[in-house]
């Protein structure tokens, strides 16, 4: 049996609904009685809200600057009345520079005497722009962490602490009004998700607001919400017992539960306290993928039907009248904690692209057919199921709302089951004549329809049962969300409901990329101190003006270190930026340290693709650091891959750090001096760039990223649920995986598991988690790896990377022969930045790609024709004396005579296409099992490890024997293989150089005694970054290049 998701169970899907409707299902009787509408003012429907915090809105600043029309459309779709999702409430995080889950939210007051600055971050501006669209939106703020100066005040006394905390709140309120004209309607008084509500602070805050005389508006009208608990309702019991506290709090906010208790019910019914679901998830699944697994894309934990059930059940079980999505717009990068999770996806600020995800259409089902202030109809609301954060195994879920004058009515149904749910609804004592209801339905596709073909579509008219003019039969399809309403639905047209909304096309951020920190005054007015495209995970990376222009400064120091949220520590300062589909590139930046303390450092990083793989540090990818004592480290995630001491460097001056990633090797330079090469065991195959720092005022500038010309700079990323990947029956499907995985999907291998695919490109990477796994891999029918052992592979790392295939179409078959393995995605190297993420290149853009590549190669050929190339002897001299200036030769008047043992170097034309030629069948060899588990390779400032046969997971031994021309002039790929110690055809290199691989490796491999002696004298590696880049780009090298110092290596 083979599982091809795109073909799964089409016949069943085609006839599914008809079959179910013919089954004998007993209808549930529902009475929608206008006299039973809940007229308690504290039980009126408040609409849907959202939370802006945890760094989730950060990239909207870039949208607003670079794509203002896209930004305006996103905001209108979220907040404009009678248009899109129609959100009615915004809760802002009162930032404290702590990581509150998916990133840091900047603090408005980092010290006692600092004026409050609400232009830091995106939150306050986000709220102001929403209010400009809909002035009726209400605004709230809630703290996760706390500034150090406030925490320190509590050490002195409670009175000092309360006074300091109020000063932080009050001056922030003042500044929000002064800068943006914001008037806050609510304050969530306690710390987010506390387990011990702070009565003293709540009462103090209420007293101070009521008596505040120095305010731009009446602060006594600000209502208090308490206590945003998760899983508990302690504040309710305390309010019942304490009348002063009860009078101080207006709203009870609860997180991630639909249930109230006897105390919350009493407070709502007897004391008029509103109950809110004050933080809940937005849908987390990706329906265009999960539809392949469950045929709907709507069911399962954290899916849209689950979220709709929470909205419906929260009133029936807990009298909750508002649900707040956290977040509404995902304006942070994929790989953030809990992503994906949103109504609208906006994480491509360079292109302006955004996506209306299923959560948006879910919100439309409620917000467009019920208005704020409508009343719940008791007796026509019901919800059940097993709740453990999510809600599962329900039997019935529906909710009914009516206008205060009973002139309109809407009912909201969900059905997660595979059976039709049928309801007989009697309408009574309403102000409208119940002649017909309209319906709007969201459900999965039928047959080969697009995954979203049946989202938010007009359903059948629902008319009264014959001879019962006030009774209707409502059939809710399997796995669907359904709205039944008296309101107009003529404007509904599925995902084409907004024909004028035409987001920019998605595109990778094109390399080369330079951040020269040139900003106009108008741009600074919008983005404040936020650098372009950067999202902080720890610390605060902000723009500062220096004598030489703008620089990026990490602003958090030990003197102002904030107090963390109780559920999350804050990592060392780190920010990431750019496209996580970058693969082969170099990054350089200048850094300046604030002090020379040995623990202080600043660094740069590449291939950053996740904030949660290293859960507590948020470190990811490969980073190079410069320390205050002159030492350096090359990091692989959290681990030190190489380290050493530099000479002649003043860390308090500007120093240039550079990282180069090519194939399976990472190269690190400082000020042009080559320090180390590192080959990981399991490679992070793609990712963004990053900056990192200690908690000090370290600065960065002149950031530049360059594509590597010898390999495609991007990847096409194909999910494990993607079309074209075929599985046998020995797999377990995970449609709601951990957020450590791309798209929260995985395929888990069982005994005998195998998968296959056909792809187009020059290589492929298998990304997933592994534990003592063994793989056998066939490419185009030839065994590449047999029982290849991978002891451990973390999320978003590549278990196997196959490079250097001939450009074209290939087949791959993978057998998992042992251990544990979960497939996440496949990644294929890609030259074209606007290519879709598919295994094979779509026909409609193939010709465009070919034309662009021809033009690029023609330009490269012209450039290469004018470049100076090293011959084999020159390169070998540099390999023997890698950090020494070559002896200068007098300029000859005629061509010197060649030594006998060296062949003449004929002039050859550099070929346009540097792709590895196609191999004969005989060239395919089985990789040794032990090669796939190659140990981590590091080089310090003295030696590199011995060059060996290629590591199986990284190289494809399929090149043809070198030609005569190639014997006299090495290609860029050849030079890279020599530098990285991974020659794919070592025997051909022997012929090229008349020197064995073992002899060449001796050049790199110093003895242990030599290494110790060199380290003791702090030997500095002095191969320039420019020279290395010339090697890697195949541009030759200038023999007369200036070296900063001669090597002291013996």
State pLDDT tens for residues 807-816.
999 999 999 9
Rounded Cα distance between 666 and 733, Å, is 35
pLDDT surpasses 60 at 22: no
How far are the Cα atoms of 94, 347, 418, 762, 896 from residue 333, in angstroms, in the given order? Answer: 21, 5, 35, 28, 58
The predicted pLDDT at position 3 comes to: 60
Assigned token pair, 990: 């022997």
The predicted pLDDT at position 1030 comes to: 56
Rounded Cα distance between 128 and 526, Å, is 12
List, in sequence order, every residue forming a beta bridge with 438; answer none if it has no partner.
485
Across 298-323, average pLDDT: 98
Domain membership flag for residue 475 = no
The predicted pLDDT at position 162 comes to: 98
Query: Does residue 720 sit in the same domain as residue 684?
Result: no
CATH of the domain at 746: 2.60.120.260
The predicted pLDDT at position 1028 comes to: 52
Choose the final residue of a domain: 276, 295, 310. Answer: 276
pLDDT surpasses 50 at 577: yes
811 within 8 A of 703, measured Cβ to Cβ? no
Between 653 and 1014, the higher pLDDT residue: 653
Domain membership flag for residue 781 = yes
pLDDT surpasses 50 at 984: no
The predicted pLDDT at position 138 comes to: 98
Query: Does residue 689 sit in the same domain as residue 762?
Result: no
Rounded Cα distance between 919 and 1038, Å, is 33
Across 363-387, average pLDDT: 98
Query: Does residue 912 sit in the same domain as residue 839?
Result: no
Assigned token pair, 450: 């697009």
Which residue range is the domain that position 614 belongs to? 513-707
Between 1037 and 118, the higher pLDDT residue: 118
Query: Does residue 631 sit in the same domain as residue 558?
Result: yes
The predicted pLDDT at position 865 comes to: 55
Query: Does residue 629 sit in the same domain as residue 533?
Result: yes
Across 833-846, average pLDDT: 83
The predicted pLDDT at position 946 comes to: 38
Rounded Cα distance between 702 and 175, Å, is 33
The predicted pLDDT at position 890 comes to: 52
**Within 10 A of 807 (CB to CB), how many other CB atoms are there?**
17
Domain count, the chain: 4
Query: Does residue 787 sit in the same domain as residue 725?
Result: yes
* Nearest in space to 646 (alpha carbons), one of 672, 666, 622: 672
The predicted pLDDT at position 857 comes to: 67
The predicted pLDDT at position 27 comes to: 95
Choose the final residue of a domain: 656, 676, 707. Answer: 707
Between 768 and 861, the higher pLDDT residue: 768
Helix axes 158-180, 123-133, angle to 10 degrees: 50
The predicted pLDDT at position 647 comes to: 83
The predicted pLDDT at position 886 comes to: 54
Choose the final residue of a domain: 276, 302, 337. Answer: 276
pLDDT band at 935 (very low <50, low <70, confident <90, very high): very low
pLDDT surpasses 70 at 969: no
822 within 8 A of 744, measured Cβ to Cβ? no
pLDDT surpasses 90 at 1042: no
Across 91-102, average pLDDT: 97
pLDDT surpasses 90 at 331: yes
How far are the Cα atoms of 691, 930, 958 from residue 927, in angstroms, in the given order? Answer: 38, 8, 12
Using one digit for the tens of pLDDT, what is the confidence trace for 737-766?
Answer: 999 999 999 999 999 999 999 999 999 999
Domain membership flag for residue 562 = yes
Across 137-155, average pLDDT: 98
* Nearest in space to 289 (alpha carbons), one of 646, 725, 669, 600: 725
Rounded Cα distance between 305 and 412, Å, is 12
Rounded Cα distance between 230 and 255, Å, is 5
Query: Does residue 744 sit in the same domain as residue 826?
Result: yes
pTM of the prediction? 0.83
Range of 356-365, 611-620, 898-907, 977-986 with top mean pLDDT:
356-365
Assigned token pair, 809: 């179409």
479 within 8 A of 298, measured Cβ to Cβ? yes
The predicted pLDDT at position 86 comes to: 98
CATH of the domain at 225: 3.20.20.70
162: left (phi over 0), alpha (psi -120 to 50) or beta: alpha
The predicted pLDDT at position 591 comes to: 98
The predicted pLDDT at position 603 comes to: 98
pLDDT band at 802 (very low <50, low <70, confident <90, very high): very high
Domain membership flag for residue 748 = yes
Domain membership flag for residue 880 = yes
Domain membership flag for residue 149 = no
Query: Does residue 669 sit in the same domain as residue 727?
Result: no
Across 572-587, average pLDDT: 97
Q: What DSSP designation does 316 have?
A: H
pLDDT surpasses 90 at 352: yes
CATH of the domain at 656: 2.60.120.560
Using one digit for the tens of pLDDT, what is the confidence trace for 780-795?
Answer: 999 999 999 999 999 9
Rounded Cα distance between 588 and 591, Å, is 10
Range of 412-416, 522-526, 965-969 with top mean pLDDT:
412-416
Query: Does residue 552 sit in the same domain as residue 692?
Result: yes
666 within 8 A of 634, measured Cβ to Cβ? yes
25 within 8 A of 475, measured Cβ to Cβ? no
129 within 8 A of 81, measured Cβ to Cβ? no
Across 953-959, average pLDDT: 37
- Nearest 5 degrees, angle CA 560-CA 563-CA 569? 115
Between 24 and 1037, the higher pLDDT residue: 24
Rounded Cα distance between 667 and 662, Å, is 8
Query: Does residue 554 sit in the same domain as residue 689?
Result: yes
Specify the DSSP element, H or E, that contains 574.
strand 574-577
Query: Scanning the structure block, which residue is given the tokens 């990376």?
Result: 541
DSSP string, 713-749: SEEEEEETTSTT-EEES-EEEESS--TTSGGG-EEEE
The predicted pLDDT at position 602 comes to: 98
List, in sequence order, every residue forming a beta bridge with 733; answer none if it has no partner.
747
Task: Please write down the HEC assignment for all residues of 759-825.
Answer: EEECCEEEEEEEEEEEEEEEECCEEEEEEEEEEEECCCCEEEEECCCCCEEEEEEEEEEEEEEEEEE
Across 797-810, average pLDDT: 95
Across 874-882, average pLDDT: 44
pLDDT surpasses 60 at 851: yes
Query: Does residue 631 sit in the same domain as residue 699?
Result: yes
576 phi, psi to nearest 5 deg: -130, 160
End-to-end, the C-alpha distance of the chain in Å comes to 63
Domain membership flag for residue 304 = no
The predicted pLDDT at position 912 comes to: 38
The predicted pLDDT at position 637 comes to: 96
The tally of CA atoms less than 13 A away on the side-chain side of residue 242 is 16
The predicted pLDDT at position 615 comes to: 83
Q: Which residues contact 151 (CB under 8 A, 6 or more apart)?
A: 161, 562, 563
946 within 8 A of 1008, measured Cβ to Cβ? no
Using one digit for the tens of pLDDT, what is the confidence trace for 421-469?
Answer: 999 999 999 999 989 999 999 999 999 999 999 999 999 999 999 888 8
DSSP string, 207-222: HHHHT--S-SS-GGG-
The average confidence (pLDDT) of the chain is: 85
Across 886-900, average pLDDT: 48
- Nearest 5 degrees, angle CA 650-CA 654-CA 657? 95
Query: Does residue 687 sit in the same domain as residue 556?
Result: yes
pLDDT band at 674 (very low <50, low <70, confident <90, very high): very high
The predicted pLDDT at position 25 comes to: 82
pLDDT surpasses 50 at 1011: no
Domain membership flag for residue 541 = yes
List, in sequence order, every residue forming a beta bridge with 353; answer none if it has no partner.
348
């Amino acid at each position: 049996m083979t599982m091809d998701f795109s073909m799964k169970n089409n016949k069943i899907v085609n006839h599914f609904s008809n079959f179910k409707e013919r089954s004998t299902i007993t209808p549930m009787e529902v009475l929608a009685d206008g006299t039973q509408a809940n007229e308690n003012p504290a039980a009126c429907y408040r609409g849907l809200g959202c939370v802006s915090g945890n760094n989730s809105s950060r990239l909207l600043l870039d949208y607003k600057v670079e794509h203002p029309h896209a930004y305006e459309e996103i905001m209108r779709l979220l907040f404009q009345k009678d248009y899109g999702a129609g959100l009615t409430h915004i809760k802002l995080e009162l930032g404290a520079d702590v990581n509150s889950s998916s990133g840091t939210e900047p603090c408005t007051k980092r010290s006692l005497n600092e004026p409050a600055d609400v232009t830091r971050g995106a939150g306050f501006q986000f709220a102001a722009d929403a209010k400009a669209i809909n002035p009726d939106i209400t605004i709230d703020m809630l703290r996760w962490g706390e500034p150090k100066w406030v925490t320190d005040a509590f050490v002195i006394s409670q009175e000092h602490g309360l006074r300091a905390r109020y000063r932080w709140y009050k001056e922030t309120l003042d500044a929000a009004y002064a800068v943006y004209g914001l008037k806050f309607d609510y304050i969530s008084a306690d710390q987010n998700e506390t387990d011990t509500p702070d009565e003293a602070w709540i009462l103090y805050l209420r007293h101070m607001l009521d008596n505040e005389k120095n305010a731009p508006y009446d602060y006594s009208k600000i209502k208090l919400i308490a206590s945003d608990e998760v899983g508990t309702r302690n504040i309710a019991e305390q309010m019942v017992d304490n009348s002063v506290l009860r009078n101080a709090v207006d709203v009870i906010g609860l997180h991630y539960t639909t249930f109230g208790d006897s105390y919350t019910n009493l407070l709502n019914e007897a004391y008029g306290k509103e109950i809110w679901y004050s933080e809940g998830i937005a849908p987390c699944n990706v329906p265009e993928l999960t539809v392949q697994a469950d045929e709907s894309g709507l069911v399962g934990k954290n899916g849209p039907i689950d979220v709709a059930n929470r909205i419906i059940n929260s009133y029936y079980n807990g009298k909750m009248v508002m649900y707040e999505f956290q977040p509404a717009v995902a304006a942070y990068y994929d790989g953030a904690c809990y992503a994906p999770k949103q109504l609208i996806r906006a994480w491509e600020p360079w292109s302006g692209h955004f996506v209306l995800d299923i959560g948006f259409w879910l919100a439309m089902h409620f917000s467009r057919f019920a208005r704020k202030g409508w009343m719940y109809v008791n007796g026509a609301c019901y919800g059940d199921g097993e709740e453990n954060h999510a809600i599962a195994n329900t039997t019935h879920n529906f909710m009914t709302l009516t206008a205060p004058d009973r002139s309109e009515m809407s009912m909201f149904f969900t059905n997660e089951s595979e059976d039709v749910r049928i309801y007989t609804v009697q309408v009574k004592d309403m102000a409208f004549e119940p002649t017909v209801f309209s319906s709007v339905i969201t459900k999965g596709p039928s047959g080969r329809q697009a995954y979203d073909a049946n989202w938010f579509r007009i359903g059948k008219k629902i008319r009264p049962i014959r001879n019962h003019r006030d009774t209707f039969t409502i059939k809710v399809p399997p796995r669907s969300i359904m709205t039944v309403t008296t309101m107009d639905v003529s404007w509904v047209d599925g995902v084409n409901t907004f024909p004028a909304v035409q987001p920019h096309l998605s595109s990778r951020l094109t390399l080369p990329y330079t951040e020269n920190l040139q900003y106009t005054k108008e741009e600074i007015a919008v983005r404040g101190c936020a650098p372009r495209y950067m999202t902080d995970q720890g610390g605060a990376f902000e723009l500062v003006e220096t004598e030489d222009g703008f620089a990026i400064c990490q602003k958090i120091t030990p003197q102002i270190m904030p107090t963390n949220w109780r559920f999350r520590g804050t990592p060392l300062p780190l920010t990431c930026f750019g496209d996580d589909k970058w693969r082969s590139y170099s990054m350089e930046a200048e850094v300046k340290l604030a002090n020379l303390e040995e623990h202080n450092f600043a660094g740069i990083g590449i291939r950053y693709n996740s904030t949660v793989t290293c859960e507590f540090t948020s470190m990811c990818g490969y980073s190079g650091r410069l320390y205050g004592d002159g030492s350096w480290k090359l990091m692989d995630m959290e681990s030190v891959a190489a380290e050493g001491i530099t000479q002649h460097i003043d860390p308090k001056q500007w120093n240039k750090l550079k990282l180069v990633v090519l194939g399976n090797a990472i190269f690190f330079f400082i000020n042009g001096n080559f320090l180390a090469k590192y080959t990981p065991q399991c490679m992070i195959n793609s990712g963004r760039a990053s900056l990192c720092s200690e908690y000090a005022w370290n600065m960065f500038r002149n950031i530049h990223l360059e594509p590597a010309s010898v390999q495609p700079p991007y990847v096409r990323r194909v999910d494990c649920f993607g079309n074209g990947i075929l599985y046998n029956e020995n797999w377990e499907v995970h449609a709601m995986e951990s957020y450590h995985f791309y798209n929260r999907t995985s395929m888990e291998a069982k005994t005998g598991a195998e998968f296959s695919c056909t792809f187009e490109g020059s290589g492929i990477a298998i990304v997933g988690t592994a534990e003592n796994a063994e793989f056998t891999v066939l490419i185009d029918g030839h065994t590449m790896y047999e029982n290849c052992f991978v002891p451990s592979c973390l999320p978003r790392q590549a278990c196997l990377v196959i490079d250097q295939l001939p450009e074209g179409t290939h087949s791959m078959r993978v057998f998992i022969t042992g251990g544990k393995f979960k497939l996440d995605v496949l990644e294929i190297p890609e030259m074209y930045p606007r290519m879709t993420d598919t295994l094979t290149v779509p026909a409609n853009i193939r010709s465009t790609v070919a034309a662009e590549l021809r033009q690029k190669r023609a330009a490269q050929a012209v450039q290469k024709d004018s470049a100076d190339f090293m011959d084999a002897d020159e390169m070998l001299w540099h390999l023997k004396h890698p950090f020494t200036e070559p002896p200068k030769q007098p300029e000859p008047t005629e061509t010197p005579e060649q030594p006998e043992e060296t062949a003449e170097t004929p002039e050859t034309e550099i070929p346009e296409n540097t792709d590895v030629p196609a191999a004969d069948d005989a060239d395919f060899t089985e990789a040794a099992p032990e090669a796939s588990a190659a140990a981590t390779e590091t080089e310090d400032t003295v030696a590199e490890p011995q060059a060996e046969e290629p590591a199986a997971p990284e190289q494809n031994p399929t090149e043809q024997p070198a030609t005569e021309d190639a014997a006299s002039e090495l290609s860029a790929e050849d030079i890279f293989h020599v530098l990285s110690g991974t020659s794919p055809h070592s025997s051909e290199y022997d012929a090229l150089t008349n020197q064995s691989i073992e002899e060449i490796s001796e050049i790199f491999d110093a003895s242990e005694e030599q290494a110790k002696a060199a380290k003791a004298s702090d030997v500095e590696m002095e191969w320039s970054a420019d020279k290395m880049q010339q090697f890697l780009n195949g541009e030759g090298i200038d023999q007369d290049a200036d070296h900063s110092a001669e090597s002291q290596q013996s």
